Structure 1
Amino acid sequence: MRNLTDKAGGARVSLALGVLAMMVVVASSNFLVTKPIGQWLTWAALTYPFAFLVTDVMNRLHGPAMARRVIWAGFACAVVLSVVLATPRIAFASGTAFLCAQLLDVGVFNRLREGSWWKAPLAASLAGGALDSLLFWVLAFAGATGEDAFPGWPRYGLADWGVKMLITFVTLIPFRLLTAGKIGPREARRV
């Protein structure tokens, strides 16, 4: 009985940590997308790929249901914070792109989870990152005026996507360290 209680308590702690990590990554990225690094990149390109790391670690350790719970809870908290830290349009674009990309990540990860340790997180993060970049940059800045106008956004979006893809490879290191030897429960293998 104690083992069951320990597992349930551990799952709650994991969920809370996953939601907190997701909230920090998304809210900070929504703020940092308005902060250019030169003429090609924003600071968000360096932070946002860690959202896929959070999702993939939760998926590997606790399964797709827990990963989706982190996505939905992190989404709700992050959008509220994003409205404060960024503009409503950026919050909407971020939320839409986030949900679509993260749910795609979970689906791709689960299809590949039985293969080599690196295939599922790499393919899932690359697919999710590409969808996220496309949706976010178009929804946030295409035709935007006023405080949401961001001249040169296609150039920034393309560079941002490229850096996100590069960082996806780098996040394989913490993924391996956090999940080494842990396959997760049998339910985790089902979609």
Structure 2
Amino acid sequence: MSRSPSPGYSSSFLLIVALFVTCLIVSNVAAVKLIMVGGLVLPAAVLIFPVSYIIGDVLTEVYGLDAARRVIWLGFLCNILAVAAFALALALPAAPFWHDQAAFEAILGATPRLLLASFAAYLAGEFVNAYVLAWLKGLTGGRLLWVRTIGSTLVGQFLDSAVFMTVAFAGVLPAEALVGAAVTQWLVKSGFEALATPLTYLVVGYLNRTEGRAGGRTGRVPA
């Protein structure tokens, strides 16, 4: 998958970008449903959103911090487009024979406060995750990939969970419940990353070989 479909961008890079954006948008829709996992109440997005952090780690590790930053902004813009499309669909009058407007609104009609919380948490978490991973890569001399991926995720997911819960539910939930929910989400998402470490190693190793990057050094990904 190293053949470039367009100048400077490999098919592997484009596939990773597409997966990143898809995970982000799907997780925002799935988050509406609350699920029970081992006695814990969590948003269903916990099943897919951590994948965006794994992909972000791969982007930073293989293609560099600049490429990761551009993809994070691209994901943000695509998410805004999705939200705008949902808002327009909600505002348009329903056909007389269609009686599912209430269900449609319940799933896709997020409140402005929740949207703000989601956007702020995404930007804070993803950018810090990328920066910490790049910093740790320099600190470790490119060794100990598992330390870099898990360490950056612990910091990034902590910010993501803390920002989202604070912006979305401060003044709504008691402080104890808010902190408890944020910590639970942080630990679950970070645990997901730790369990996926072998897969991260496989993907990074594959991309380093097929993209012609020795030792994880990044090649050119045009601005």
Q: TM-score, normalised by structure 2?
A: 0.69
User: For residues 31-58 of structure 1, what are the alpha-carbon distances to aligned partners after superposition, in whole Å with 9 as ceiling and x for unaligned?
Assistant: 2222111362121122111111111111
Of stretches 178-187 and 62-71 in structure 1, the one that deviates more from structure 2 is: 178-187
Whichever residue aligns with residue 28 of structure 1, its letter is V
CA deviation vs aligned residue, 1:52-72 (integer Å, no higher than 9, x gap): 111111111111111111101
Distance 1:15 1:93, change over 3 A: farther
What is the percent sequence identity of the aligned residues?
A: 27
Alignment of 1:30-109 (within 5 A): 30-38=28-36, 40-82=41-83, 84=86, 85-87=108-110, 88-109=112-133
**Residue aligning to 2:151:** 123
Query: How many aligned positions are there?
Result: 179
* Aligned equivalent of 1:137: 165
SS at match of 2:216: coil
| Structure 2: gaps of 5 or more residues | 87-107, 209-214
For the 8 Å contact 1:52–1:125, the answer to whether it is kept is: yes
Query: What CA distance in whole angstroms lies between the structure 2 residues aligned with 1:153 and 1:51?
Result: 24
Letter of the 1:101 counterpart? G
Matches of 1:89 and 1:71, distance apart in 2: 21
Contact 1:79–1:92 (8 Å) recurs in 2: no
**Per the alignment, do residues 7 and 25 of structure 1 end up closer, same or farther by CA in structure 2, a change over 3 Å counting?**
closer
Q: Which position in structure 1 is the counterpart of 2:212?
A: none
Query: Is contact 1:59–1:106 with CA below 8 Å preserved after alignment?
Result: yes
Residue ranges of structure 1 left out of the alignment (5+ in a row): 146-151
- Tell me if the contact between 1:20 and 1:74 (Cα under 8 Å) persists in the aligned partners: no
**Counterpart residue type for residue 196 of structure 2:** T
Cα offset for 1:98? 0.9
Contact 2:5 2:11 in 1 (8 A): no
CA RMSD of superposed structures (Å): 2.8
Q: Which runs of 4+ in 1 moved over 4 A?
A: 5-8, 152-155
Task: Indicate the structure with greater helix content.
Answer: 1
* Rg larger for: 2
Q: What TM-score do the two structures reach when normalised by structure 1?
A: 0.79
